[in-house]
Chains A and B, each alone.
Chain A
């Protein structure tokens, strides 16, 4: 007998998507991560646009990931023109990126995911039952936004990060204020660590998982680096950013405005869990102990552990952000000119780690610095095939007979990926598409 499990509107995720599972008896015939978000076709806007206009436009792909899109866009354009930014700019971009990660992880964990573990429908219900948890989450979230406002000039769609550096550098007094905030954040992180290590276990599927993540330069991070590692059964395959198409290997599918990616037919996962798994060897002692205290054993075959991995990053990043500010202040933080930007014809590619995983931007410019071709590949698009894989495993392995409970579990798996559906749709590509 054939039947269908359907989640029409995924709640507590960014954007509009659903899940459809079609079964013949107990055999799963098809799983679809349906995406209904309209197609904005932003590539039409980019064609012919001048280099300085690109980052503010692609930032609008997604609000929650807007610093990631802005910084990845700048990195790709600077790669195309051979621009080298100063060490101080690199540190500030690193800090801005961590600010976004803190905000995004806190929003996802406290407002969207934790209610699941406590069997509650929303953050409002959680606030009624346990306001301390919500206030803790909101304080950490606000701290991430404070970093983005101080360095990026706005919490959503940053205005201050531009080609070659920054419009205006923050004052030393602002960095000191930020340090104060982060010092308070460190004690909040202890509470967060207690909370996340005490959440009830959630294991709805056990699946061999292939992980892909940036191999960061200069320690665990999201911005600096040019290599991607694909980890499969303990074997590492390394890709240069410029050769990203060999990894992403996308194909368009009818049920979704997001293209699907797989490597040699095997879907791979991107995000916090893959990042920690691929880069466990370069974690500092403090971060490794956080991972241990959270009871996160790597590599993990449970996609729900992406929540724990986000928690580990959130907690470690508050301390890392503090360390960056102390380093900036110690190094004699000061005004400096932006790196000169001289447009030339050519292609530039950048890879970074958005809060939800690998993000690629690749642009081809003409000699006057106008866009000829653009390609953006977002983490949720990369994860689409992996989400379907994990949903399939969960349905196949589940003994759950109550449809409502099963649906709830499937929704939790999707939510653990922290999907960002706006991002997934608005991939951009123009290839001499005149």
Chain B
């Protein structure tokens, strides 16, 4: 693509993946040169909100009718739609307990007024529209984002690891938090790409990047069970960021 037209959008979330783009301080002006950014409400007051786009980058999850309508509009005007971040790819933290009664939760938080709010159970983008590329991470890793842009500009599909975090953690020669310290570390089931950021700091992986497709689930579950962590607790931990992770791994 030569200088593709681009829109950067946020549905409901923390806006962290849009912020990762703005955090590319060293590349930001180059990005603005390589991409023709037409619609980016978080950064600009002058936006083309209807024209067709070669590329739409969308962070956040679908939590309201409004989100759903916006996402469908974005889809309709975009050749390619990229789900950016764990909320967009998996539903994220808001999707954790989507089986619970929404009306009751709204009332718990907001009182009677809550009943009038436009609120739906959280959904990932692919549950609503077609998504061509998913980059997970909470937030996405800057390098993975930049690599995706570079690949797309050259017409190549970006390639990401599908193996678990443990591979990166071992390459960094960290002590294993699960085996050596008996901590509930989600590394064996979580997709690599962050360089094992948390274990690198001696902190157990919370699974914020979502599930690894190429994980040895039965071995991981046995390893957790050996250390006194029941399957339900692992499932609850994995559901924190990616509710579907439990289905992926079962």
Residues of A bordering B, CB below 8 Å: 9, 11-16, 36-45, 53, 56-57, 60-64, 66, 107, 111-112, 115, 121-125, 127, 131, 134-135, 138-139, 141-142, 145, 153-157, 159-160, 162, 166-168, 252-254, 257, 259, 411, 422, 427-431, 433
B23 touches A154 (CB 8 A): no
Q: How many pairs of A and B residues are in contact by the CB < 8 Å rule?
A: 178
A38 in contact with B66 given A45-B96, A153-B197 (CB within 8 Å): yes
What are 5 inter-chain pairs, A to B, with CB distance below 8 A? A38-B11, A40-B93, A135-B29, A156-B16, A160-B203
The complex places the Cα of A63 from the Cα of B198 at a distance, in Å, of 17
A41 touches B109 (CB 8 A): yes
Q: Of A56, A62, A107, A254, which one neighbours B14 at CB under 8 angstroms?
A: A62
**Chain B positions 110 through 147: 1 when the CB is less than 8 Å from some CB of chain A, otherwise 0:** 11111011111010000000000000001100000000
A15 touches B15 (CB 8 A): yes
Smallest Cβ distance from A117 to chain B, in angstroms?
A: 13
Q: B159 on the interface (CB 8 Å rule)? A: no
A40 touches B12 (CB 8 A): yes
Q: B43 on the interface (CB 8 Å rule)? A: yes
Q: B225 on the interface (CB 8 Å rule)? A: no
Known: A134-B29, A159-B203. 15 other contacts (CB 8 A): A12-B41, A12-B43, A36-B66, A38-B62, A39-B110, A41-B106, A63-B16, A112-B43, A135-B29, A145-B23, A153-B203, A155-B23, A157-B138, A168-B200, A254-B113
A422 touches B15 (CB 8 A): yes
B14 touches A61 (CB 8 A): yes
B43 touches A123 (CB 8 A): yes
The complex places the Cα of A156 from the Cα of B93 at a distance, in Å, of 15
Q: Which of B55-71 contact A (CB under 8 A)?
A: 62-64, 66-67
**Which residues from chain A contact B93 at a C-beta distance below 8 Å?**
40, 42, 45, 57, 60
**Which residues from chain A contact B26 at a C-beta distance below 8 Å?**
138, 142
A142 in contact with B203 given A57-B93, A123-B43, A252-B113 (CB within 8 Å): no
Indicate the member of B28, B40, B105, B116 with the most A CB atoms within 10 Å: B28
**Which residues from chain A contact B201 at a C-beta distance below 8 Å?**
153, 159-160, 166-168
Q: B171 on the interface (CB 8 Å rule)? A: no
A154 touches B45 (CB 8 A): no
**Which residues from chain A contact B10 at a C-beta distance below 8 Å?**
15-16
Q: Of A45, A122, A162, A168, which one neighbours B46 at CB under 8 angstroms?
A: A122
